[in-house]
Structure 1
Amino acid sequence: MTDLPPQTSIKRWFVTTNHKDVGILYLATGLFFLVFGGVLALLMRAHLWQTGGLGILEASEYNQSVTTHGLLMVFWFLSPFAFGFANYIVPLQIGAKDLAFPRLNALSYWFYLFSGLLIGISFFQQSAFAGGWTMYAPLNVPMFRTVTEATAGGNTTILGLTLFIMSVTIGTVNFLTTIHRSRAEGLGLWNLPLFTWSILLTVWMMLFAFAALLAALLLLSSDRIMLTQYFSTEQGSSLLWAHLFWFFGHPEVYIVFFPALGIMFETFQTFTGRRLVGRKWVIIAMVLVAVQSFLVWMHHMFLTTINLEIKTLFMATTIGISLPFDLMVFALIYTMVKGRVRFTTPFLFSLGALVLFILGGITGVFLGAVVLDYEFRGTYWVVAHFHYVMVSGATALFGGLYYWWPKISGKMYSEALGKLNFAVYFVGFNLLYFPMFLAWETPRRVFHYPGSTQPYHQLATVGAFIFGASFLIMFATFVHSWIRGPDAPDNPWQFSRTAEWATASPPPLENWPDRPSYTSGHLEFVDDTATDGGVDGATANGGAMAEDVHRTAVATDHADHASVWPFMIGVGMFVTFLGLSGLTPYVAEFAMARGLEVAQPGTAEIRYPLLTLAGVAVLGYALFEFGRERFRAPELAIAERWPFDGVGTTKLGVWFFLASDVVVFGAVIGAYVFLRIHIGWNEWGPVPPSTLAGLFNTYVLLTSSFTVVLALVMAERGNRSGLVASIGATLLLGLTFLGVKSWEWSEEFAHGVYWFTDLEYSVYFFTTGLHALHVILGLLLAGFLLYRIVAADAYLEDHRPVEFFGLYWHFVDIVWVFLFPLFYLM
């Protein structure tokens, strides 16, 4: 499918791959999940009107509500809403025609939507997950939860979050590749708009942080569905989860806040009429925060048994990370002082965000001190601080919605309604959360509290409903604007300075009538059709474009913007994960028949295996058609690509994906090392039945790497038979590896050893199983390559797909080189 239906057609929103459409979908869906999480919050606040609760929610229902509220707001609202703006605005700001991989951009959205639907469905599977949004071990595994919470509902929540992270990974790779490879000619990294800078640093953090959480969730899903024992033992499981989760969790604070910070920079510049004071130092400060965010996670673990010296070190890094933020805050303040402020609605929200963030940051310093953290941890002081930081980011995002609404909708909004919205919002927020500092002795996530704090809780509940009313005003403002608002000019703001305001409101399908260029020092448009050097100049003016020339040679008018297969892949993943959520009872029956004592997690229902099979069938077909579809992405023939001039677009995307996968395997292998050291290294011998089998498999995989290299050589030489033979040999070697691995596992089973038998067996089966899954995915890719070669003589003219497959296959082989000595020799 290549034709894009009009925006008035429902079909368009299921097939579009255009970045602006996907951005609108993200924004609308993010607002839906905001309302979803907000309703849960209002239920909780109403329940907390009096000391013993009003009886609106039972204990389990309260725990489900507080857990799902936290998950929805942190994962399904804040970051996706910000990336709705990123999808719409970043390509416009850098002069691109779309993201580097438009179909993957659509796929990322559908994974996001379906992951959120899984969270909603979990409430209808007896019980949603109720262990808190941080999902601390061992309360996150079946044997430590009630019967209903151990079944499909809790599993669906975990699997929904896993699918969400898959969406994040795809989007992260896409944005990194786009910003590094699709900037307009003359637009160096240093001169990027500050919103784009904030998104660039955000996706760099996301690439590694979310990979660590994905590893943790894969381990947790294995514990919940397959009954492995990573987080169900007393041998370091709680500490292991805390390390994995908070290695993600603290960078997540900056992942959420950086896009909001970028919006604040843009709106402060526009509505003060001057350039941000200390711009280069602000960029350096953001880079420092992005790096240092991975060095502070342990301050969330001050109450654990970690020794005081390490706690003191992380206290220092925690306080140290506040210094770059001090610089950014003062830069914003001085920009106001030196400018002429116009108090428009976007600026009021950005200014409010700055005030709230300062309060949140100051109160966070208390938690960064080890001694004070012992007193405040687990109280409403943390709840108040957390919301002052996170919702300050949301406040700036709402300012961004007002700021870019004329560009997105083509309509102006009512300033009077907008300012009323801000006033109600700001009063409601502070009335809701500031009393929590005063009621700090209240334990968090508990649905009754000391009577002495009841007045503060009642103030907070009143504030919650005022805060909720502000969103009704916001929605009314935009509906009024859409129906009755005047048409917006291309640039409604007098001192805006970024490229999105240089095109129509809303922008045309491919953003620009001509090619944007900054070679003269300012934005101008070049008509490449007037010369014959548009594509031929790509290698000379964009840097090492040889392997992408065939894509840029496609005329812009013939680029594609529609594909139904991202949606169908999303459907397949949704059905598959929904089916997997109900498989725990089957595994439990199998385990109990083999002597494992485990709480019976509900009744086995045949619909779940059937759903799994149906989902896999839909997913397999959709992926096959996705691979066969001829899709031509819009791309600039001439662009800035430093520091990746010599790397093609798709190849760079593969490298970014593999970097994320390195962190996943690093976390899984790190979990093995952590648990083994915790138990005692010498107490844990080699698990596999035969060292020789592992050695043989090592030789098999190393040989398969050679056949992949040979396949690339054959493709470069145009040797069809040699290419078929090389890919076929790789397939056979991969199947041989899996055959030997199956023999190893069957030997363990024959001797009564299973993945649920003991911790060391859980670690062995999971880690080698995750690697085997990567081998299977590689074999499916090899099989598809072989099909394309035989059916269409593919890859003889363009050998790059063979090279990209080789990068993935070599990575799989390298991982095994690490796994072999760890599990077979030590």
Structure 2
Amino acid sequence: MTPDIHPDGGYAEDTHSERPALTDEAHEFPPKTSIKRWLVTTNHKDVGILYIVTSLFFLVFGGVLALLIRLQLWTPGGTILSGLAYNQTVTAHGLLMVFWFISPFAFGFANYVVPLQLGAKDLAFPRLNALSYWLYLASGMLFIGSFFMGGTFDGGWTAYAPLSIPAYTPQPGGTAAMLALTLFTVSVTVSSVNFLTTMHRMRAPGLHLRDLPLFSASILLTVWMMLFAFAALLAALFILLSDRILGTTYLAANEGGALLWAHLFWFFGHPEVYIVFFPALGAMAEAFQTFTGRRLVGRKWFLAAMVLVAVQSFMVWMHHMFLTSINLPIKTLFMVTTIGISLPFDLMVFALIYTLVKGKIQFNTPFLFAFGALVLFILGGITGVFLGAVVLDYEFRGTYWVVAHFHYVMVGGATALFGALYYWFPKMTGRMYDETLGKLHFALYFVGFNLLYFPMFLAWETPRRAFDYELAFLPWHRLATVGAFILGVSFLVMFYNLYRSLTHGEEAAGDPWPYATTAEWTVASPPPLENFDGVPSYEGGAFHLVTEPAAAVADGGATTAGATDAHANPSGDDHASHASIWPLVTSIGAFFAFLGLAGFREGVLAEGMLGTLAVLSLVGGGTVAFLALVAMAAEPFYAPEPERGARWPFARVENTKLGVWIFLASDVVLFGALIGAYVFIRTAFGWTAWEPVPHDSLPGLINTYLLLTSSFAVVLALAASQRRNRWGVVVALASTILLAIGFLINKALEWQALFHEGVTLGSSVQASTFYLTTGLHAAHVIGGIAVAGYLLYRAYHGAYLGDDRPIEYFGLYWHFVDIVWLFLFPLFYIL
């Protein structure tokens, strides 16, 4: 009998029923004991486990750095580390914990659990899911490698300009660290496109967005925030790296360069707080429901508050900039928005507390961590309100009050995620954890956490990022150091518990929790390879399986430009593909390409053997990554899309098309940030005093006609495909490519003429803005040529006759590139 359960509440009988699992061997897929399995897997559950294990590695790395910081602070002016080493340690700790631990840790659970809760057999684009993981790992390895390149970045995790430019942080390791962060941002963008497509298009029938389980709802909002916030960060990193690698003078400009970085960074940075906390909030809510036996009180208001916070998170960034020269009325406005964003959080906190009051609590380890996270977040939120007031922020900014508040919020969120690790451990492993060791872990963790961070409020006058302080604060800092080591010991207990439970733990039922209500608990632990042996449905308001098999269609969308068409299932049956080596190979190539870029400083290649190795790494890695992407696009890979599902508001939009739209939404923010940066710098310089680069508008006008004509050629290719005119498709795509190449040649001639006149990348801020913005656009044109070349090759061999979808998806991208140029042309050539 199949259990009926509601997405978040309401309980049905037979919640422990299990169904026979499909074996990996049935699909000729390597078993989990094989190393090959973990190198080629695209299955969402495997990728989720890879994310969790890797993020825990970075937790240990960042934790060791944190212990070094606390040892340095044992006495004022400590000598464990030199001043430079201390700065590097503080910076690396912040970057590792914020980027390479907390968010990937949460998305390990999201990868594993969300498709199960949706009633999906996998994410929409399995190979993109694997690619996002391997790019994440490659970025982390590149960041670790930065320590061995003259020292890693030492300008603080916020990388404030102008401290982040080569004049102040000249070591190649600093550039490598920022390149690693860029590669991580690419990984996030790939993952965001995948999750948003899945959650809007792959929900089981009857599962409306308003009925999503709370963890999935939190992930949906998180990913929408990630899509836009990380695009702004990517723009900021693009500007920073052009200054470091190419020698532009964007952030070094006296005309607003430092303030520009702060705007771009905090437009990302404040939503990042909620990007980190929302998955923890969703996991917390799931645990509260499960261990109180009570549906969340005020669920619809809880979700409405989350939506409101997600939107407001992009409207409060300037409260991080109260100490800058921004005028008081603007500061006052952002003070109001900052205080306003705390109100929806008040509603969510009261909903959680009232759920506890109404329920019958079971004090299992996951609940203890969820409850502890709530307590810590309340403290972090209250202390954050102080920083939202302009007058108080003048006093607290740059002190340990900020350090304490920040950790109570961010690590408070991580606390709920450790509870999530225990909560879903039985589902992922098929084994129960040791409850006694779990509670010991919580006790040590909670005591160590508060001993570590609460004394910082009392010693708040200690300067931030400094290891010298007044002797009066010595007891508080020593107490914090003791707390840090207690906190570290708690993780030794956790790792021992996980290892012992994995090898000797009691076998877990499909649903080990009496009041768990979401769909992942209706299958075996661990779940079958393809999750469900029937067709999931929420029709009627409860989750159940329909035994009749649903028709499946192939989804061949493997690239963000939609360059591939649907391939037949290579295995000849209805089972999805679960393996591809190309995401790993692509990431290896990207790692070496980015590593090679670190060998350049301000347009000059490193001397001697290091320079040679940098060029080989850049060229070789770039070639491998490009060829691997081509191989992945051409690879027969079957990713079935259910014939029926809850897909509002995208019922008539295919997965790949929606994925392209979402990617372009991110690209809109990327170009919007760069165009906004140009306007900001030009306004700070003086709009009328600005001497435009270039001086001649004719090359820009010619390029405008070339791109507009190329867009028309793509439309002709689409029409020819619909008429099944093979040569019409070939000629139209070839024309698109030739016109795009003409655009690049004209652009190169224009740049050559400017260089001859002495207008180089770093000759002025006017030149820097021109070269950087139009250069990014040219990179998009080159990417479009590569995709169009692939389409042309396949069209020549008879593809796309009557199936115009890949050409249509490419056309969306190409028209976007042309529209961007229509903004750039007047900005740089006319105004």
Pairwise same-fold verdict (TM > 0.5): yes
- Distance in 2, Cα, partners of 1:548 & 1:492: 43
Distance 2:695 2:74 in 1: 61
Q: CA deviation at 1:797?
A: 4.0
SS of equivalent residue, structure 1 residue 6: coil
Which of residues 46, 49, 66 is equivalent to 2:71?
A: 46
Distance 1:679 1:250 in 2: 27
Partner of 1:494: 514
Aligned amino acid, residue 190 of structure 1: R
Counterparts of 1:307-706 in structure 2, within 5 Å, are 307-529=327-549, 534=551, 557-584=574-601, 587-588=603-604, 605-706=611-712
Aligned partners of 2:445 and 2:487 also within 8 Å: yes
In 1, distance between residues paired with 2:99 and 2:574? 37
Query: What whole-Å deviation, never above 9, does each CA across 1:202-232 have from its counterpart, x for those lacking one?
Result: 0010110000000000010100000101111
In structure 1, how many angstroms separate the alpha carbons of the residues matched to 2:790 and 2:598?
29
CA shift, 1:750, in A, is 1.0
Determine if contact 1:244/1:667 at 8 Å carries over to the other structure.
Answer: yes
C-alpha displacement of 1:717: 1.1
1:194–1:262: 8 Å Cα contact kept in structure 2?
yes
Structure 1 residue 484, shift from structure 2 partner = 1.0
Are the equivalent residues in 1 in contact too, given 2:567–2:637 (CA < 8 A)?
Answer: no
Partner amino acid, structure 1, of 2:808: E
Cα contact 1:205–1:255 (8 A) shared by 2? yes
2:248 matches 1:228: yes
Match of 2:321 among 286, 301, 306: 301
Letter in 2 for 1:139: L
How far apart, CA to CA, are the structure 2 residues paired with 1:80 and 1:108? Answer: 10
2:616 counterpart SS class: helix
Determine helix, strand or coil for the equivalent of 1:558: coil
* 1:743 corresponds to: 749
Compared CA separation, residues 3 and 766, structure 1 to 2 (3 A) = farther
* Contact 2:222/2:279, CA 8 A, preserved across alignment: yes
Please, what TM-score do these two structures have when normalized by structure 2? 0.94
Conserved 8 A contact 2:569-2:638: no
What is the rounded CA distance, in whole Å, between the counterparts of 2:278 and 2:608 in structure 1? 43
Which secondary structure state, in structure 2, belongs to the residue aligned with residue 425 of structure 1? helix
- Residue 309 of structure 2 corresponds to 289
Displacement of 1:559: 1.4
> 1:752: Cα distance to partner?
1.4
Instruction: Give the structure 2 partner of residue 115 of structure 1.
Output: 139
What corresponds to 1:68 in structure 2? 92
Q: The residue matched to 1:142 in structure 2 has which SS?
A: coil
Q: C-alpha displacement at 1:555, in angstroms?
A: 7.9
Q: Does 1:266 align with 2:286?
A: yes
- The one-letter amino acid of 1:470's match is S
8 Å CA contact 2:570–2:638 kept in 1: the answer is no
Q: Residue 714 of structure 2 corresponds to which residue in structure 1?
A: 708
TM-score by length of 1: 0.95
What secondary structure does 1:436 align onto?
helix
Rounded Cα–Cα distance in structure 1 between residues aligned with 2:284 and 2:474? 36
8 Å contact 2:567–2:638 — kept in the other structure? no
Q: Deviations over 1:496-551 (max 9, x none)?
A: 0100000000000000000011112211111224xxx7469x9xxxxxxxx99998
Among 747, 758, 763, the alignment partner of 2:764 is: 758
- Which 10-residue stretch deviates more, 550-559 or 322-331? 550-559
Specify the code of the residue in structure 2 equivalent to 1:383.
V
Give the Å deviation of 1:553: 13
- Cα displacement (A) at 1:689: 4.0
Report the residue type matching 1:793 in the other structure. Answer: G
Counterpart in the other structure of 1:778: 784
Distance 1:342 1:124 in 2: 49
- The question of whether the paired residues in 2 share the 8 Å contact of 1:689 and 1:744 is answered with no
Return the alpha-carbon distance in structure 2 between the equivalents of residues 265 and 247 of structure 1.
28
1:635: Cα distance to partner?
Answer: 2.6
Deviation by residue 1:294-350 (Cα, 9 ceiling, x = unmatched): 000000000000000000000000000000000000000000000000000000000
Of residues 798, 808, 818, the one that matches 1:803 is 808
Q: Which range moves more in the overlay, 475-484 or 602-611?
A: 602-611
Give the conservation status (yes or no) of the 8 Å contact 1:548–1:649: no
Amino acid at match of 2:755: F
Deviations 1:230-284, CA, capped at 9 Å, x for gaps = 1112111110000000000000000000000000110000000010000000000
> Identity across aligned pairs (percent)?
65
Question: Using the alignment, how far apart are the partners of 2:244 and 2:811 within structure 1?
Answer: 34
**Residue type matched to 1:341 in 2?**
I
* Secondary structure of residue in 2 paired with 1:123: helix
CA distance in 2 between counterparts of 1:637 and 1:411 reads 35
The 1:619–1:354 alpha-carbon spacing in structure 2 relative to 1, beyond 3 Å, is same
Q: Where do residues 140-151 of structure 1 align in structure 2 (5 Å cutoff)?
A: 140-145=164-169, 150-151=170-171
**Number of equivalent positions:** 797
Q: What is the Cα-based RMSD across aligned positions, in Å?
A: 1.8
Report the Cα distance in structure 1 between the residues aligned to 2:200 and 2:607, rounded to whole angstroms. 48
Instruction: Supply the distance in 2 between the matched residues of 1:430 and 1:745 (Cα, whole angstroms).
Output: 58
Amino acid paired to 1:464: A
Mapped contact 2:166–2:601 kept (Cα < 8 A): no
> Residue 274 and residue 258 in structure 1: after superposition, are their counterparts in 2 closer, same or farther (change >3 A)?
same
Alignment check: 8 A CA contact 1:490 1:502 kept: yes
> Which shows bigger deviation, 64-73 or 43-52?
43-52
| Conserved 8 A contact 1:689-1:748 | no
- Contact 1:551-1:635 within 8 A present in 2 as well: no
What is the match of residue 62 of structure 2? 37
**Whole-Å Cα distance in 2 between the matches of residues 753 and 468 of structure 1?**
55
Distance 1:555 1:355, change over 3 A: farther
Find out whether 1:85 has 2:98 as its counterpart.
no
One-letter amino acid of the counterpart of residue 96, structure 1: A
Distance 1:580 1:549, change over 3 A: closer
Whether the aligned pair in 2 keeps the contact of 1:151 and 1:602 (CA below 8 Å) is: no
Letter of the 1:659 counterpart: A
Equivalence map 1:160-199=2 (5 Å): 160-199=180-219
Is the alpha carbon distance of 1:759 and 1:402 closer, same or farther for their aligned partners in structure 2, counting shifts above 3 Å?
same
SS in 2 for 1:516: strand
CA distance in 2, matches of 1:470, 1:395: 12
Is the 2:442–2:490 contact (alpha carbons within 8 Å) kept by the matching residues of 1? yes
Match of 1:728? 734
Secondary structure (helix, strand or coil) at the match of 1:525 reads: strand
Q: What letter is aligned with 1:578?
A: L
Choose 552-561 or 629-638, whichever is displaced more.
552-561
| Matching residue's letter, 1:338 | K
The structural deviation recorded for 1:3 is: 4.5
Q: Using a 3 Å threshold, how does the CA distance of structure 1 residues 757 and 603 change in structure 2: closer, same or farther?
A: farther
Q: Deviations over 1:390-444 (max 9, x none)?
A: 0110000000000000000000011111000000000000000000000100001
Say whether the 8 Å CA contact 2:567–2:636 is kept in structure 1: no
Tell me if the contact between 1:552 and 1:636 (Cα under 8 Å) persists in the aligned partners.
no
Structure 1 residue 573: Cα displacement? 0.3
Structure 2: runs of 5 or more not aligned? 1-26, 556-563
Question: What is the CA–CA distance in structure 1 between the aligned matches of 2:150 and 2:258, rounded to whole Å?
Answer: 26
Question: Residue in 1 aligned with 2:35?
Answer: 10
